[in-house]
Structure 1
Amino acid sequence: MQSLIRDISLASEGRKKIDWVANFMPTLNTLGDRFEKEQTFKGQTIVVSVHLEAKTAYLSTVLKRGGADVIVTGSNPLSTQDDVAAGLVDMGLTVYAWYNCTDEEYTMFLNKALDHKPHIIIDDGGDLVSLLHTTRTDAKERLLGGSEETTTGVHRLKALAEAEQLTFPMIAVNDSNCKYLFDNRYGTGQSVWDGIMRTTNLTVTGKNVVVAGYGWCGKGVALRAKGLGAHVYVTEVDPIKAIEAVFDGFKVLPMVEAAKIGDIFCTVTGCKDVITEEHYAVMKDRAVLCNAGHFDCEVNVKDLEAMAVSHERVRQNIEAYHMQDGRQLYVLAEGRLVNLAAGDGHPAEIMDLSFAMQALAAEYILHHGADMSDDVHVLPYEVDAEIAKLKLQSMGYDLDTLTQEQYDYLYTVN
């Protein structure tokens, strides 16, 4: 089936982006060499629905090297990079995606991808899985299973599983150590501020930054804000995470209080309505709002539109909302993922770990999917450890090893 992309003439620039990140993803390079030699995925169709930028593109090419027929689509209307999509088509992959697609186009792209009747899916946020359980049950006829990239998507999977409605095995790659410990903390931490600073061209130092949510992503965003010289405030609903934020040196307070003092707000909760009408009413003039959770429901933009007398685009990816009392509030990237909708996403070295996990999850599903229960699974620790070991070796580091005597001391019952 023919690809649907914006402009194939952008392919040269897209391939340059893909080639650039490949230089910094040694773990995926190693796996790609093995996949190509073994033709691991020969005869398999893999649908990849992840934010379509250079690192995702490179993962897709690694799977193709292993013999797979790889179909790529986006997982967010604003995170697709048209030149990268064109680059993938030029490299022989099938792509359905373009930047700033409508909701209808986005759903069409997902359905086009599922028309290929995949053996394996790689999902980000759970939209593919949702379709496969509702309007596209026909696309499951060859499906062995899949993997999920994000916390939000894993929550949706677990809800399906608990309701005994999940109809194929899914691996929660997000719950692997080499994903959440590094991608969520260091990847999100850096890429969120890349997106904010690139979009606003403003300083962070000296400003009051409010981070909503202190999970692994929130930890990363708060840590980098502190490193940039900001005064950091955290809002939380979980007392354990809240006290962890306090012990990490941050002030914790309710959002309705934080709203009065914040200069920059970043939501990282995975929940909805984190910032709403009551918060907009007390915010400072020229406060900047953005979201780093998967869906665009954490910053309630509809509430803000209803309160504002007008709004206008004042800079690429910045919408200014003019309030009745003369204040302006700025929303970045329509409240969608600021690090991808207004930036290039996580650094290549971080995604080398995450996407190596995705590649091995696809291989695991290939070999074990037929025997796995229709549930949410986590990759064995040995897979995590192997990825970490490969990454360390590529960086020039080595480890101690246990002697047999030490191993027996730790693991043998006396």
Structure 2
Amino acid sequence: MWRVNSDGGYLRGHRREPWFDGSRTCAVPRAGGPVNPSRVDRRGRILAGSAALAVALVGVAEALISIHANVFPNRGTLIPIVVMTAVAVGLCRRWPGVAVALVWLLLGYHAITAAPLLYAEVALAAVLFAGTRWGRLGTSMAGALAAAVIGVLAVWSLGSYSALLFITLLGGAWLAGLALRRSADRADASLASQRAAEAETEQAHREREQAREIARLREEQAQLARDVHDVVGHSLAVILAQAESAQFLGADDGAALRDSLANIATLARASLRDVRQVLTANDAPDTGPGELRTLVEGVRAGGYEISFDETGPARTLPPDLATVAYRVVQEMLTNAIRHGSRESPVVVEVEWAGELRIRTVNAVAEPETGSGGSGLDGMRRRVESVGGRLEIRREDTHEPSTFSVIAWIPVRRLVA
């Protein structure tokens, strides 16, 4: 493409075909530096004027020779022919419609004065070319008809050989202009089609980006809902267990009651802190190797009997895996507290091997409470998001029925 720099000049090395906007003429800029459009326009005017002057000089010379040879002694009749031909050539690039109109005016003058064609009028081929190449459709058709009339006039006034020369040059110029016009039209149509395709591609790209952004926002919203569910559900379950335990304390057991209330306050503060972390997009609790045991101890302090067994060397996980492991254990304990029986201990097993295996087993309080809910679904999505898997089992062959959840989380080393 032909680009324009900040000072209005054309950037070096970019080519563009000559163009016509009805008022200005621009030639093809050459490499070598910025080109000022006014200079190009001035150059076009100089070229048009030079062509008109050359036609005028040749025409005047031919008219004088004709007069001197007594071919057409009326010298006053030939000069207007030369002038109209030169003016038409000078205007054909800038105003092709006006130039073709002058050609018809010239033909009318020939008809009125019976003046013969001058060989200088072969320059009208440039007018017919310009009228077809850059003029309107009517201008092009008028040029074609003018070429036919000039051919007839040439046969009448110049003879067959000269007439053939006129017809060949003028007809060839008109056909060349038509060919270039159609080529330019096809190029414009191709460019328009390309731009339409680019616009459609860009629109499709924007729609895809918008769809991806909407999907990302929805996923973030769902993730936020799961995080809030895990944090608040776990804290409320433990607080509820503490409050229920406090109901059975005797009136004279003030120390135990104070401890229970202190545990409730501690859990409430921890819950508020965790919720604040989630809502500030910092869903990364303290998840060191010992935090899983600390999480279990917090639930155990609420009065639940929990058996915790950790095997294998604990290791520091990357933040994403550590957060998943922490939230999974948190949700497992929440489900065990809410749906399990307090008559049997909750078993928590953590095995560090090629992958982290977490398993909880609890007795089911009532048969209908063992069904999975949104917490289990969120737990499964969280585990699968890091390439792990989740398995839920229920055993009703013995009394009481047991409910177990097993999570396998891939282990990657933390890169410093």
Q: TM-score range by the shorter chain?
A: under 0.3
Question: Which of structures 1 and 2 has the bigger CA Rg?
Answer: 2
Structure-2-length-normalised TM-score:
0.22
Higher relative contact order (CA 8 A, sep 6+): 1
Q: Which has the higher strand share?
A: 1
Q: Which has the higher helix share?
A: 2
Structure-1-length-normalised TM-score:
0.22
